[in-house]
Amino acid sequence: MKVAAVALVFGAGLGLLPMALRLALPRVVPALEGDLGVLVASAFVGAFGIGLFLATIAILGLEHQQAFSVLSHPGFKHFVRLCVHGDGRIEGWTIGKDDPLGPGEPKVIDHFEWK
Secondary structure class of 7 (helix, strand, coil): helix
Find how far residue 2's CA is from the centre of its chain.
19
Does the model's pTM come out above 0.85? no
Measured at the CA of 49, the angle between CA 39 and CA 5, to 5 degrees, comes to: 125
pLDDT tens track for 70-95: 555 565 667 788 899 999 999 998 88
* pLDDT(103) > 90: no
Angular region, 104: left φ>0, alpha ψ -120 to 50, beta rest: left
Planar angle of CA 102, 103, 109, nearest 5 degrees:
80
Residue 86 near residue 26, CB atoms below 8 Å:
no
DSSP 8-state class, residue 60:
T
